[in-house]
Structure 1
Amino acid sequence: MRRALAGSIALAVGAAPIGVFLLLRRMSLSGDAMAHAILPGAAFGFLVAGLDLVAMTLGGLAAGLLVALLAGLVTRTTILREDASLASFYLISLALGVLLVSLRGSSVDLMHVLFGTVLALNPDALVFIAGVATATLVMLALIWRPLVLECVDPGFLRVVSGTGGTIHTVFIVLVVLNLVAGFQALGTLLSVGIMMLPAASARFWVREVSMMALVAMGIAAVSAWLGLVLSYHLALPSGPAIILVAGAIHIASILFGAVGGLLPRLLPVAHRTG
C-alpha cells in the first residue's frame, strides 16, 4: 500500500499538468488514443521478457511515439484529420496488443496489461514513475511559456520563434512518457484517467493555467489516496477505485465548480445597489 500510494502520487504530480495542456489544446481524446497506442509495444516486451519492467516500458514508449509519428504523417499528407488518424491507429494498436498478449499469456496477464496492478509496484517501477514525474516537471518548467502560447495561438509561435514544431514534439514525448509510467500502475486502459479527469475537474475551479495545473495535481493526489483507502477497506480493485474517485470529484466539479459549474450558473446573482 505504501508503494502504491507513493507511485500513484508521483504519477499524479507528473501526469495531471500534462492533462491540463491536453485539455487546453483540445486533445483530450488524443490522450486516450495514445494510451491505447502503447499497448502493442508493451505486449511485444511481454512476449520477449514476460512481465519485465524495462522491456515493457521500452516497447510501450516506442509504440506510442511511432503511432504519434504515423498519425502526424497521415494528417499532413492526406485529407484525414488528426483525430481520425489517431483513432484509426489506436484501434489497430489495441487489437494488435490484445492479440500479442493472448499468444503467450493468460487472461490474468491480459488483465495486468490492460488494467495494471498498482498494489504490485516494485521498487524499480516506483523509481521509474518518480523519474518520469521529475523529468516532466523539469521539462514543463523549461518550456512553460511557449507551451502555453502554442495552446493559445500556435500560428503566432511559429511566426515569432519557429519553435512550434519542437515544442509540440517535446510535449508529445512527455504525454507518451507519462502514459507509459501510468501503464505500470493503472494499465493501458486506465492510465489516461489520472491524467485527464483531474485536469477536467480543475477547469471548473480556476482560470489561470498554472493554478489549473496545481489544482489538477492536488485532485489527482487526493484521488489516489482516497481510492487506495476505499479499495483497502471495501476490498475493491485499486486502479478502478482511484479512477472512480477522480470521476466522482469531476462530477462534483461539474455541479459546484466556481468557474462554469451548473449550480453557480443557475443561482441568482445578488446585485449591489446604492
Structure 2
Amino acid sequence: MGAAIYDFLFSPFAEFAFMRRALVACFALALSGAPIGVVLMLRRMSLFGEAMSHAILPGAAVGFLVAGFSLPAISVGGIVAGLVVALAAGAATRATDQREDASFAAFYLIALALGVTLISTRGSAVDVMHILFGSVLAVDEAALLLLGVVASLSLLIFAAIYRPLLADGFDPEFLRSVGGGGTLYHFVFLGLVVVNLVAAFQALGSLMAVGLMMLPALAARYWSRSLISAMAVAALIAALSGYCGLLLSYHADLPSGPSIVLFAGGGYLLSLGFGRQGLILHWRQRRHLEA
C-alpha cells in the first residue's frame, strides 16, 4: 500500500526530467506570482492581472512570427506589449475621467484580438492553442532559467518597494506629503506584474498565466489576517496547485496548464466555503445572532 502511494505521488518526478522541470517552474511561479496577486487583490486590481495576461499576446505573436517558438523573442515581445498596454491604459485614465479598470478592459480586448489574428496569419490552430494555453511539461532548461531569474529579481524588487507600495495603496496623500513618488512605485509594480505574467506565459499560456497568480491570492484572504501571512499562504496554495495539477495531468492524461489552474480554483472554492472567514463561518455567526 505504501509503495503504491509513493509511486502515485512521487514516481513521476523521480523518473522523468520533464516532470521535475515542470514542478520547479510551478514553484518559481508560486513564489513570485502569488505575493504579487495578493497586492493586486488588496489594491482592487484583480482584473488587471487578467487584462495583462492577454495584453502580452500581440508581442508574443510578433516574436512567434519573427522567430517561431523562440524563448527570447516571445519573452521580449510579450514584455514590450504588456508595458505598452499598461502605460497606455494608465495614461488614458489620468488624461480623462475614465476609470482604470475600463481603460484596461478596452486595451486588453484590442490586444487579445490582435494577438490571435497575428498568430493565425502564419501559424496553425495548434500554434494558437499552444500560445493561449501553454505547455508546462515542455519547459526546457532555458525557460527554467528565465523563470528562476524572474522569480529572484521580482522578490528582490518587490521587497524594495513593499512599504511605499502599500502606503500608496492605503494612503497616497500621506506618501505624497513625505515626498514619496507613488506613481513611480505604482508603475514599477505594474512592470513586475507584466514580467511575471510573461514568465508564466512560457509555461501556462496567455489564458492560464493569471490563474496561478490570482486564484491562490483570492483563496488566501479567507485564511489570513495579515498581509505577510496572506502572501505565504497564497504561495503555498499555488505551489500545491502546481504539484497536484501535474500529478493529475500525468495520471489522467489531461492538459497540464488547465489541471494546475483547476486545482487553484478548487483551493479557492474550498477556502470560500470552509476558510476562517468563509461562507460556513458567516452562516454559523448569522444563526448564532438570530438565535
Pick from 240, 253, 263 the counterpart of residue 245 of structure 1. Answer: 263
Check 1:74–1:233 CA distance in 2 against 1; reply closer, same or farther (3 A cut). same
Per-residue CA distance 1:162-220 (angstroms, 9 max, x = gap) = 32111101101100000000100000111000000000000000021111111100000
Aligned residues of 1:75 and 1:81 also touching (Cα < 8 A): yes
1:53 equivalent in alignment to 2:71:
yes
- Structure 1 residue 270: deviation in Å? 12
Contact 2:26–2:239 (Cα < 8 Å) also in 1:
yes
Is 1:265 equivalent to 2:278 in the alignment? no
Of residues 67, 73, 81 in structure 1, which corresponds to 2:91? Answer: 73
Following superposition, the deviation at residue 97 of structure 1 comes to: 0.2
State the distance in 1 between where 2:41 and 2:267 align: 17
Following the alignment from structure 1 to structure 2, what is the Cα–Cα distance between the partners of residues 252 and 138?
32
Pairs within 5 Å for 1:1-274 = 1-259=19-277, 261-268=278-285
Distance 2:159 2:98 in 1: 34
| Whole-Å separation in 2 of the counterparts to 1:173 and 1:162 | 19
Q: Which residue of 1 aligns with 2:12?
A: none
- Runs of 4+ deviating beyond 3 Å: 268-271
Counterpart residue identity of residue 76, structure 2 = L
When residues 270 and 101 of structure 1 are mapped into structure 2, their CA distance, relative to the original with a 3 A threshold, is closer
Separation in structure 1 between the aligned mates of residue 56 and residue 272 of structure 2, nearest angstrom:
31
- 1:131 Cα deviation from its structure 2 partner: 0.7
Distance 2:173 2:66 in 1: 44
d(CA) in 2 for partners of 1:41, 1:80 = 26
1:5 offset after TM fit, Å? 0.5
Cα offset, 1:73, TM superposition:
1.0
Q: Which runs of 5 or more residues in structure 1 are unaligned?
A: none
Aligned-pair CA distance for 1:69: 0.6
Moved more, 238-247 or 156-165: 156-165
Alpha-carbon distance, 1:268 to partner: 4.7
Quote how far apart the aligned CAs of 1:24 are: 0.4
**AA at the equivalent of 2:198:** V
Q: 1:154 Cα shift?
A: 2.1
Kept in 1: contact 2:241–2:263 (CA 8 A):
yes
Match of 2:113, SS state, is helix
Contact 1:21 1:151 in 2 (8 A): no
Distance 2:113 2:222 in 1: 35
Structure 2 spans left out of the alignment, 5+ residues:
1-18
**Structure 1 residue 151 displacement after superposition:** 2.0
Q: Could you tell me how far apart the structure 1 residues matched to 2:247 and 2:48 are?
A: 31
- The secondary structure found in structure 2 opposite 1:162 is coil
2:3 corresponding residue in structure 1 = none
Identity %: 57
TM-score by length of 1: 0.96
Q: Secondary structure at the match of 1:267?
A: helix
Q: CA RMSD in A?
A: 1.3
Separation of aligned partners in 1, 2:62 and 2:248: 34
In 1, the alpha carbon distance for the partners of 2:266 and 2:27 equals: 18
Aligned length: 270
